[in-house]
Homo-oligomer: A and B are copies of this chain.
Amino acid sequence: MSGLHEECGVFGIFAVEKTDVTGPMFYGLHALQHRGQEGCGMVVADDGVFHDYKDLGLLNEVFVPSVMAKLGQGNMGVGHVRYGTSVTNNRANCQPIVVRHSKGSLAMAYNGNVVNTEELREELEAKGAIFHTTSDTEVMSCIVAMERLHSASIEEAVCKAMYRIKGAYSTVLMSPTKLIALRDENGIRPLCYGQTPTGEYVVASETCALDAVGAKFIRDIEPGEIVVFSKDGIKSIREHCGKRPPSLCVFEYIYFARPDSVVDGCSVHEARVRAGAFLALKDNVEADVVIGVPDSGIDAAIGYARQSGIPYAIGLIKNKYIGRTFIAPEQKTRQDKVKLKLNAVSHVVSGKRVVLVDDSIVRGTTSAVIVKLLRDAGATEVHMRVSAPPFIGCCYYGTDIDNEECLIANRCSMEEMAQVVGVDSLGFLDLTDVGKLANTDKECQYCMGCFTKEYPAEIPADRNKIKYENKYEKKISEKESN
């Protein structure tokens, strides 16, 4: 219930012969819909000719039967689901992007955020390039196309381009004959591949998308790795591997990824249960019942309950008929939207001391409404436990934690936060426990920038990406002097 958003999910498929690649892409992207609900797109390659479609909306709103039929069959495809900020939320910025360059066509989709887009764009414009969108993908495509002029192959061009592109980018791209998957040197966003029973290779942001098409997981793409799928088989290019410490975004475990996915070797569900257990281990609150905020606080609540011995129960019911396009009648406050979504089960919490587990507190307003729901339903005490450390820093690598001033932990002490949220006690996951989420024997290296303000990769020169896009429009107009 964090209100945070991942900015993308990607899917790619490679078949030796023409077959139904569109159906599996639909199912795979559908399993990744939690990574982006604002827009989606697919490109199908049929013997080198690309057919594409993309629009704002959920997968089943955009890819209606008539559109699916138009895309038809093919031997490769790349697809994308997208979360977009309101500023950039238009069709033109949807992915995948398809461009034609000197050596043929190129389709590209990625998950993450390129931090040096502005610099790259200026450099390209100085050579006469024109741009249609403000998207990173268009700039990345142009860099690849430029490198392709002096490269022997598309993968060589991609490998050269990676020296110039900074930030987080788990990418799938497609030339007329090859499907290529790559991960930035830090491996900030997940990416893996597998194989279907009928032999197609599939690349996806999460394993749940492999499951959705019946594919067997083969392995994660490594940080810095380029994997090329072609008629000649699979080839791995490791020129960028090992150059930087692996730094998967730890919030993939805490919130973004689906619990049934396995990311970089660790079950997301298990990581969340373990987060709950860590919270309970350092806790000595006396309570009657442990409940989770649906859906993302449920796993950690079970972990807390198991470790503490306090019974787990369902204390909050979520109304499942609130979709992306739900408009509450009249100008109701944010508070009311939460009430529209959640209701307390009074027989579970009435007269009880409740441990309430959620995955994060951003502004504190949502949590305050939930706590009030529980108290109104008769809870005598509410002890809130958060399965992550407090947010203090922006994310520059593809999520929308973008404004440090809004973060409650930057404005309040722990006591003040408890008061704002209205709880009897408040606890967060220790930073030292974050590294143990995936595996208890050895500590893993993660990107924890939003908890520490220490970033494993470059950050943008202009730190505020969203404002930048608006200013950019203005700025380029000012350059025109005569």
Residues in chain B near residue A262, CB distance under 8 A? 346-347
Structural contact, A314 and B477, CB atoms closer than 8 A: no
Those of A115-129 within 8 Å (CB) of chain B? 125-129
Structural contact, B260 and A477, CB atoms closer than 8 A: no
Structural contact, A269 and B473, CB atoms closer than 8 A: no
Those of A134-192 within 8 Å (CB) of chain B? 138, 141-142, 145-146, 148-149, 152-154, 175-177
Closest B residue, CB atoms, query A306: B311
Given contacts A102-B125, A345-B267, contact A330 B48 (CB under 8 A): no
Residue A68 is within 8 A (CB to CB) of chain B in the complex = yes
Report the count of interface residues on A (CB-CB < 8 A).
Answer: 100
**Interface mask (A388-429 → B, CB under 8 Å = 1, otherwise 0):** 000000000000000000000000000000000000000000
What's the minimum C-beta distance from A118 to chain B, rounded to whole angstroms? 12
Q: Kindly identify which residue among B149, B153, B176, B299 contacts A128, using a CB–CB cutoff of 8 Å.
A: B149
Residues in chain B near residue A482, CB distance under 8 A? 152-154
Given contact pairs A211-B343, A267-B345, A267-B346, enumerate 13 new A-B contacts (beta carbons under 8 Å). A33-B321, A34-B321, A37-B321, A60-B325, A65-B329, A100-B125, A100-B130, A101-B130, A103-B481, A104-B480, A129-B145, A259-B317, A269-B348
Chain A residues in the interface with B (C-beta under 8 A): 20, 22-23, 26-27, 30-31, 33-34, 37, 47-50, 58-60, 63-65, 68, 91, 97-106, 125-132, 138, 141-142, 145-146, 148-149, 152-154, 175-177, 208, 211-212, 258-260, 262, 267, 269-270, 295, 298-299, 302, 306, 311-314, 317, 319-323, 325-327, 329-330, 339-340, 343-348, 473-474, 476-482
6 A–B contact pairs at CB < 8 A?
A: A49-B474, A100-B131, A104-B477, A154-B480, A269-B314, A312-B312
